[in-house]
Chain A
């Protein structure tokens, strides 16, 4: 495998051409989220941590339809655990775990895990997670503006970080990945990760002397290695953790993979073109 950085012939493309792809994808993502909100009530599927309900992990020889018949309450979803035979994750909107746990035990199921969340607590969590994301993002934006003190380079970083979060959110809706505490953590992590390569690029182009394209290629050489290394770590985490049946880790990993991939595109198409505009047009005048 060769990981040498592909040579993008930046001079061949205009700013508009470069920025078109990431902007189009961002627009599609926002569209997906908006349509989902209108049709389904929330931009991304919410896990029980944010809706309230009960989750059981059980071992049983019963088929999914037999499992449904076992419980008096409606089973919202039955997900088999890939790595372990006859193990299922059951989700209920029903908020009282006692009768469910009892019913499962009576039916001869082995209950491996029970987690129950009241709706009001879940509502609070939802609000807090949203506030947390907004505060984190705002904090990042302020810090970036303080560091560069010029509008275009700063807004380039912030816009790229925004897109790095919105695109994975849309992908979560498309792939049916639930927003859980784990995936919120991953989204926050993305703020940190995505800024890394953007800062590097900005730093090389603005804060140092030298030709624009040389600086860009040098930053790319380092930045692409960084992002691909992180993607590799996360892909391995997703694959291994899902094979071993460890909860939480796959969801965190997959969202990071989405976000980091989006970051590659955003940084080296959108960010580069904004900086080129800044360097050649805005400053030149």
Chain B
């Protein structure tokens, strides 16, 4: 048998790819371990990894179990506006006032020429024309056509990094956050293997904005009146400690350190609002009531209350007094030297949430899961079963194909290589999946089975063409027949790729994976495995003759 590389380079190319795939699938590489530093506490729950035990293949949610959430970020963006950097603040102010939205919900970027608001017709009930009108009010040349749904790319990037950070810090390992584009909409896709739906939605569904708010009395003509003032946001912290369980009657809390910029302001505010009084302050904040309810209670009680409120997404989670030691520091100016205090919450779980929010930062805007999102959860133990079972399905399909081919040709030297070549095609495809870290889903398994189907189809074309009317006398005859067979195969491959390409681009979830596997499968087939089969046939057939 002549296996010289020059004559049979197609076979050798296939061998090279099979070997490379083996390396990609089985060679141990330094990925797949638990990522990042698991935060303190018992994080043993839900640490299932997507990586497989024996191979480098990764499995998606349908084969690993867990939760997927897919939702757009709330917001609208006006593009192509021209304004100077100095004007940005004024524009933000006007738009905020016109639309009656919160302080951090408008963002004007002079360099990009964009203004975005983090409300839309689904959440916050502001329509595109209303936003355009507000922009005109701010002196910008904008109409409805300039306003699109969705936020800017930089806001999306911020959101993705905050979300990843939240998931990592919560101790859920193997989670991924990606962006997905669809015509007219941008989605964020969050996948957390092993985690249940509620946990994931609780973690990411909220903006996670943590503020420290001062609640203090002022003397007015009508007697004592209570007021609030924002002291900090996430950006003001240089360091956030780990959540501490409650000790000696104190509430559980997390220690925070202010930045050098924020500390003097914080101290000045404390002095101004009277938190620096000797002996510390009194605070009997009732979490079951609203802020207003508490204010009334304080006024009625007649005792001066001064509270530092921990506020998460607009909800007061804790009201703390200032201890005498801290009050002394505010008074003497010691606080600026070591600007450390504790944010507390009633339970350790809530403190953990605070810690995650403080460390990961706040989302620039919410995810609209409720109106425009999709969620998917699959029990991990069930998903684990799908893995061997879908493998079994694939095998059964291969056996069916093999039987058909044997019945048709009744020649082992034609049929055996055909089945092996089709199997090699799937194997190379698996190697590709392992190499690029594509998480396998059920749709990919369907794609693999489809590839076996089309693969064998094309091999049948080659076999029939080459073996027509008896023997091949010369290499030249072989080459000419091979080329004729290849015209059909190439044309069919091109149409399959064309048919699948819209899916690879569109954002239709599962279908994208299916399309990508099919397209890559067709390419692998046309460029590598099917030519190799031609050579294998020649070697076998010429040997016989």
User: What is the 8 Å Cβ interface bit string for chain B, positions 148-172, against chain A (1 contact, 0 not)?
Assistant: 0000000000000000000000000
Smallest beta-carbon distance B159→chain A, Å: 18
Q: When chains A and B are docked, how far (Å) is the Cα of A128 from the Cα of B182?
A: 8
The segment out of B20-28, B44-52, B127-135, B489-497 that lies at the interface is B489-497
Q: Do A120 and B508 form a contact, CB below 8 Å, given A188-B500, A191-B499? A: no
Q: Which residues of B contact A189 (CB under 8 A)?
A: 450, 499, 518
Smallest beta-carbon distance A189→chain B, Å: 6
The reply to whether A248 and B443 contact each other, CB–CB distance below 8 Å, is: yes
User: What is the 8 Å Cβ interface bit string for chain A, positions 233-260, against chain B (1 contact, 0 not)?
Assistant: 1111100110011111100110010000
From the candidates A57, A132, A195, A246, name the one contacting B506 in the complex (CB within 8 A): A132
The reply to whether A128 and B506 contact each other, CB–CB distance below 8 Å, is: yes
Q: Which residues of A contact B378 (CB under 8 A)?
A: 112-113
Q: When chains A and B are docked, how far (Å) is the Cα of A200 from the Cα of B385?
A: 41
The answer to whether the Cβ of B453 comes within 8 Å of any Cβ in the partner chain is yes
From the candidates B122, B183, B370, B390, name the one contacting A128 in the complex (CB within 8 A): B183
The reply to whether B182 and A191 contact each other, CB–CB distance below 8 Å, is: no
The reply to whether A203 and B397 contact each other, CB–CB distance below 8 Å, is: no
Q: Which residues of B contact A28 (CB under 8 A)?
A: none
The reply to whether B386 and A246 contact each other, CB–CB distance below 8 Å, is: yes
Smallest beta-carbon distance B206→chain A, Å: 15
Smallest beta-carbon distance B135→chain A, Å: 25
- The A-B contact count (CB < 8 A) is 231
Q: When chains A and B are docked, how far (Å) is the Cα of A116 from the Cα of B374?
A: 5
The segment out of B9-17, B209-217, B304-312, B404-412 that lies at the interface is B404-412
Across the two chains, which residue of chain A brings its CB closest to B390? A246
The reply to whether A188 and B499 contact each other, CB–CB distance below 8 Å, is: yes
The answer to whether the Cβ of A30 comes within 8 Å of any Cβ in the partner chain is no
The segment out of A60-68, A135-143, A166-174, A264-272 that lies at the interface is A135-143
The answer to whether the Cβ of A218 comes within 8 Å of any Cβ in the partner chain is yes
The answer to whether the Cβ of B510 comes within 8 Å of any Cβ in the partner chain is yes
Q: Which residues of B contact A118 (CB under 8 A)?
A: 370-374
The reply to whether A244 and B408 contact each other, CB–CB distance below 8 Å, is: no
Interface size classification for chain B: 35 or more
Smallest beta-carbon distance B494→chain A, Å: 6
Q: Which residues of A contact B539 (CB under 8 A)?
A: none
The reply to whether A182 and B510 contact each other, CB–CB distance below 8 Å, is: yes
From the candidates B370, B371, B461, B506, name the one contacting A200 in the complex (CB within 8 A): B461
The reply to whether B443 and A185 contact each other, CB–CB distance below 8 Å, is: yes
The reply to whether A132 and B488 contact each other, CB–CB distance below 8 Å, is: no
Q: When chains A and B are docked, how far (Å) is the Cα of A55 from the Cα of B407?
A: 43
From the candidates A110, A208, A229, A248, name the one contacting B457 in the complex (CB within 8 A): A229
From the candidates A113, A185, A226, A232, name the one contacting B377 in the complex (CB within 8 A): A113
User: What is the 8 Å Cβ interface bit string for chain B, positions 473-498, against chain A (1 contact, 0 not)?
Assistant: 00000000000100110011011101
The reply to whether A115 and B375 contact each other, CB–CB distance below 8 Å, is: yes
Q: When chains A and B are docked, how far (Å) is the Cα of A246 from the Cα of B397?
A: 15
Q: When chains A and B are docked, how far (Å) is the Cα of A225 from the Cα of B404?
A: 8
> Which secondary structure dominates where chain B touches chain A?
helix
The answer to whether the Cβ of A181 comes within 8 Å of any Cβ in the partner chain is yes
Chain A residue total in the interface (Cβ 8 A): 75
The answer to whether the Cβ of A78 comes within 8 Å of any Cβ in the partner chain is no
Q: When chains A and B are docked, how far (Å) is the Cα of A230 from the Cα of B397?
A: 9
CB interface residues, A 187-201, toward B, < 8 Å: 188-189, 191-193, 195-196, 199-200
From the candidates B404, B442, B449, B511, name the one contacting A228 in the complex (CB within 8 A): B404
From the candidates B122, B468, B502, name the one contacting A132 in the complex (CB within 8 A): B502
The reply to whether A230 and B453 contact each other, CB–CB distance below 8 Å, is: yes
The answer to whether the Cβ of A279 comes within 8 Å of any Cβ in the partner chain is no
The answer to whether the Cβ of B503 comes within 8 Å of any Cβ in the partner chain is yes
Q: Which residues of A contact B442 (CB under 8 A)?
A: 246-249
The answer to whether the Cβ of B39 comes within 8 Å of any Cβ in the partner chain is no
Across the two chains, which residue of chain A brings its CB closest to B398? A233
Q: When chains A and B are docked, how far (Å) is the Cα of A98 from the Cα of B197?
A: 9
The answer to whether the Cβ of A276 comes within 8 Å of any Cβ in the partner chain is no
Across the two chains, which residue of chain B brings its CB closest to A201? B488
The answer to whether the Cβ of B18 comes within 8 Å of any Cβ in the partner chain is no
User: What is the 8 Å Cβ interface bit string for chain B, positions 391-424, against chain A (1 contact, 0 not)?
Assistant: 0110011111101110110000000000000000
The reply to whether A181 and B510 contact each other, CB–CB distance below 8 Å, is: yes
Q: When chains A and B are docked, how far (Å) is the Cα of A280 from the Cα of B339?
A: 94
Across the two chains, which residue of chain A brings its CB closest to B491? A199
Smallest beta-carbon distance B488→chain A, Å: 5
Q: When chains A and B are docked, how far (Å) is the Cα of A196 from the Cα of B494?
A: 10
Q: Which residues of B contact A207 (CB under 8 A)?
A: 487
The answer to whether the Cβ of A96 comes within 8 Å of any Cβ in the partner chain is yes
Q: Which residues of B contact A140 (CB under 8 A)?
A: 495, 498-499
Q: When chains A and B are docked, how far (Å) is the Cα of A252 from the Cα of B461?
A: 25
Smallest beta-carbon distance A274→chain B, Å: 18
The answer to whether the Cβ of B185 comes within 8 Å of any Cβ in the partner chain is yes
The reply to whether A232 and B403 contact each other, CB–CB distance below 8 Å, is: yes
Across the two chains, which residue of chain A brings its CB closest to B518? A189
The answer to whether the Cβ of B330 comes within 8 Å of any Cβ in the partner chain is no
Q: When chains A and B are docked, how far (Å) is the Cα of A192 from the Cα of B507?
A: 21
From the candidates B484, B488, B491, B511, name the one contacting A185 in the complex (CB within 8 A): B511
The reply to whether A240 and B393 contact each other, CB–CB distance below 8 Å, is: yes
Q: When chains A and B are docked, how far (Å) is the Cα of A113 from the Cα of B456?
A: 35
Q: When chains A and B are docked, how far (Å) is the Cα of A136 from the Cα of B185?
A: 21
Q: Which residues of B contact A248 (CB under 8 A)?
A: 62, 442-443, 446, 510
Q: Which residues of A contact B396 (CB under 8 A)?
A: 236-237, 240
CB interface residues, B 293-310, toward A, < 8 Å: none
Q: Which residues of A contact B372 (CB under 8 A)?
A: 118, 120-121
Q: When chains A and B are docked, how far (Å) is the Cα of A245 from the Cα of B468?
A: 43
From the candidates A2, A136, A199, A253, name the one contacting B499 in the complex (CB within 8 A): A136
Q: When chains A and B are docked, how far (Å) is the Cα of A261 from the Cα of B509?
A: 29
The reply to whether B508 and A235 contact each other, CB–CB distance below 8 Å, is: no
Q: Which residues of B contact A36 (CB under 8 A)?
A: none
Q: When chains A and B are docked, how far (Å) is the Cα of A253 from the Cα of B445?
A: 12
The reply to whether B499 and A124 contact each other, CB–CB distance below 8 Å, is: no
The reply to whether B503 and A132 contact each other, CB–CB distance below 8 Å, is: yes
The reply to whether B401 and A232 contact each other, CB–CB distance below 8 Å, is: yes
CB interface residues, A 70-112, toward B, < 8 Å: 96-98, 101, 110-112
Q: Which residues of B contact A241 (CB under 8 A)?
A: 389-390, 393
CB interface residues, A 36-61, toward B, < 8 Å: 57
The answer to whether the Cβ of B454 comes within 8 Å of any Cβ in the partner chain is yes
Q: Do A195 and B495 form a contact, CB below 8 Å, given A115-B376, A233-B452? A: yes
Across the two chains, which residue of chain B brings its CB closest to A251? B446
Smallest beta-carbon distance A254→chain B, Å: 12
Of the A-B pairs whose beta carbons lie under 8 Å apart in the complex, a sample of 16, sorted by A's number, is A3-B407, A118-B374, A125-B509, A132-B503, A136-B498, A139-B501, A193-B457, A199-B492, A221-B464, A229-B401, A229-B405, A230-B456, A236-B393, A247-B442, A249-B445, A256-B450
| Extra A-B contacts (6), CB below 8 Å, given A3-B407, A125-B509 | A57-B382, A136-B502, A193-B453, A195-B491, A225-B404, A230-B457
B interface, CB within 8 angstroms of A: 62, 70, 122, 182-185, 197-198, 370-379, 382, 386, 389-390, 392-393, 396-401, 403-405, 407-408, 442-443, 445-446, 449-450, 452-454, 456-458, 460-461, 464-465, 468, 484, 487-488, 491-492, 494-496, 498-503, 506-511, 514-515, 518
The 5 closest A-B pairs by CB, nearest first: A192-B496, A139-B498, A236-B400, A191-B499, A226-B457
